[in-house]
Copies of this chain bind each other. A is one copy, B any other.
Amino acid sequence: MEAVAIDTVWVAVAGCLVLFMQAGFATLEVGFSRMKNAGAVMAKVLINLSFAFFAFWAIGYALAFGDGNDFVGATGWFIDLGNPDGVESLSYTGVSEEIKFFFQATFAAVTLAIVWGSMLDRVAFRAYLPFAIAFVGVIYPIVVHWQWGGGWLLKNGFQDFAGAGVVHVCGATAALAGALIVGPRIGKYRDGRSIPIPGHSMPLAILGVLILWFGWQGFNAGSWFAAVDQDIGRVLVVTNLSGAAGVIGGLIMSRVLLGTMDIGMMGNGAVAGLGAAAGASGFVDPWAGAIIGLSAGMLMVVLVIVVDRLRVDDPIGAVAGHGGGGFVGLIGTGLFANAAGVEALGGREGLLVGGTAEQLGWQLIGFGAIFGFTFVTTAIVFFAIEKTIGLRASEDVEIQGLDIAEHGMFGYPEQFIEVFGASSDDAIPGISSPSGTSTNER
């Protein structure tokens, strides 16, 4: 009884920390956005968090954790409090069904937030609802089911402690598909060159990274779903060494490859290192965490460059940060997973600590499966949205800025000298004007 209460407190606190990561995504993204889209970014984060809770509650949780087959679950719709046993896949922890849902719903919201990060400054607001339903309701839950829902990946010993693959690779893959389909911002690639379109506030961006870092403690260390008899200290140490090493890795590669000490790259390095730790922190020793984080931060910089060379416009580095970090976390687990971790969590020891290559192989298969499935399904969804209601804001809206064009207001109203006129209640804000049309004008 008391043990359950301890676990409950820990998982509840951890879930709150993961929930707070939304504030981190919001500030990180708004910092990397243009000023004219600053309000729209915040609105996006709020509404997607809201949609995520509902989509995961109604169907996502059941597909992810419900009793079903190796591919998908099918019990626990709307949590199903009528069933005293709850979903079987999470029965290893004594906390209540609601706590399980709460913690997992915050993960679903994180995954969804990752997706939209790559598509800043140009997505139409109307696209959020259908995508949230498809992604948080169906696609992400299926990926979850394969592993944490007791599906085929888990059965084959694929290891992913807190979601390097399930959350970060999955989110980053969807971010890649989305950025490909939505296309680059106007003016990003010209005459074969990549033009910097810097965000408007590094302070907000890095505040976002620090909020994420804070929230990530709950993300990783909460993933035991327990505090009694589980080594949350190990997870915390690995997480922070990996995150710290990610910053250093990002800095080194930025200096070496780009010739600058890019501030955003240091922030992204933290994201990559912490994302890598999501996979490895339950399995590896602190020193391995440091190596994993360093590799993640370094790979991330390379990936940013590669993504840019491929003319995929990802203003925030979501693909490189979460995707690169998640990938390294999966591989690192396959290389460094130790006996204690494997005993507690399953799978096999890593190649470099006395294991066989089999685990590494399954890590690669898991990565490939998550990447492939997510890429294809989200590409279809994005494509369908684009062809029906439209995924991308019109050129006019993009040039004017999403704030005034979509929300009828400015994110930083006092950046404008205001001369007020008669309020005209028949006008549609930001789109038509009191007399005449104001399309595509500044």
Chain A residues proximal to chain B, CB less than 8 Å: 1-3, 5-6, 8-10, 12-13, 15-17, 19-20, 22-23, 26-27, 30, 34-35, 38-43, 45-47, 49-54, 57, 78-79, 81, 95-102, 105, 125, 193-195, 198-207, 209-211, 213-214, 217-218, 221, 227-229, 231-234, 236-237, 240-241, 243-245, 247-248, 251, 259-263, 266-267, 270, 285-287, 290, 403, 406-414, 420, 422-423, 428-430
Known: A39-B203, A195-B420. A263 touches B45 (CB 8 A): no
What chain B residues lie within 8 Å of A52 (beta carbons)? 244
Asked if A217 and B42 make an inter-chain contact with CB atoms under 8 angstroms apart, the answer reads no
What chain B residues lie within 8 Å of A81 (beta carbons)? 285-286
A99 vs B221: C-alpha distance when bound (angstroms): 11
Known: A19-B217, A46-B266, A211-B23. A237 touches B102 (CB 8 A): yes
Chain A contact residues: helix, strand, loop or mixed: helix
What chain B residues lie within 8 Å of A12 (beta carbons)? 10, 217, 221, 227, 232-233, 236
A429 vs B259: C-alpha distance when bound (angstroms): 8
Q: In the complex, what residue of chain B is closest to A96 when comparing beta carbons?
A: B233
**CB < 8 Å neighbour of A50 from B125, B200, B248, B262:** B248
Asked if B3 and A3 make an inter-chain contact with CB atoms under 8 angstroms apart, the answer reads no
What chain B residues lie within 8 Å of A10 (beta carbons)? 9, 12
What chain B residues lie within 8 Å of A15 (beta carbons)? 236
Additional A-B contact list (19), CB under 8 Å, known A5-B6, A79-B237, A101-B233? A2-B3, A3-B5, A12-B227, A23-B207, A38-B203, A40-B263, A42-B206, A46-B267, A46-B270, A50-B270, A78-B286, A81-B285, A98-B233, A101-B237, A194-B423, A198-B410, A200-B412, A259-B408, A260-B407
What chain B residues lie within 8 Å of A78 (beta carbons)? 286-287
Asked if B198 and A413 make an inter-chain contact with CB atoms under 8 angstroms apart, the answer reads yes
**CB < 8 Å neighbour of A247 from B38, B47, B95:** B47
Asked if B411 and A53 make an inter-chain contact with CB atoms under 8 angstroms apart, the answer reads no
A15 vs B107: C-alpha distance when bound (angstroms): 22
Nearest CB of chain B from residue A87's CB, rounded to whole Å: 14
Asked if B47 and A251 make an inter-chain contact with CB atoms under 8 angstroms apart, the answer reads yes
Which 4 A-B pairs give the minimum distances between C-beta atoms? Answer: A98-B233, A42-B206, A50-B244, A99-B233
What chain B residues lie within 8 Å of A213 (beta carbons)? 19, 22
Asked if B43 and A263 make an inter-chain contact with CB atoms under 8 angstroms apart, the answer reads yes
What chain B residues lie within 8 Å of A54 (beta carbons)? 241, 244-245, 248, 290
**CB < 8 Å neighbour of A13 from B13, B206, B244:** B13
Asked if A1 and B229 make an inter-chain contact with CB atoms under 8 angstroms apart, the answer reads yes
Asked if B200 and A95 make an inter-chain contact with CB atoms under 8 angstroms apart, the answer reads no
Nearest CB of chain B from residue A224's CB, rounded to whole Å: 11
Nearest CB of chain B from residue A134's CB, rounded to whole Å: 17
Nearest CB of chain B from residue A77's CB, rounded to whole Å: 12
A68 vs B420: C-alpha distance when bound (angstroms): 56
What chain B residues lie within 8 Å of A429 (beta carbons)? 259-260
Asked if A199 and B413 make an inter-chain contact with CB atoms under 8 angstroms apart, the answer reads yes
Can you give 21 contacting A-B residue pairs, CB < 8 Å?
Answer: A2-B3, A5-B228, A8-B232, A9-B9, A10-B12, A16-B218, A23-B207, A23-B210, A42-B202, A42-B205, A50-B243, A57-B286, A97-B233, A102-B237, A194-B423, A195-B420, A203-B204, A260-B408, A260-B429, A263-B403, A263-B411
Asked if B26 and A207 make an inter-chain contact with CB atoms under 8 angstroms apart, the answer reads yes
A201 vs B410: C-alpha distance when bound (angstroms): 9
A163 vs B259: C-alpha distance when bound (angstroms): 41
Asked if B193 and A423 make an inter-chain contact with CB atoms under 8 angstroms apart, the answer reads yes
Asked if A411 and B5 make an inter-chain contact with CB atoms under 8 angstroms apart, the answer reads no
A236 vs B106: C-alpha distance when bound (angstroms): 11
Known: A102-B233, A102-B237, A409-B198. A43 touches B227 (CB 8 A): no
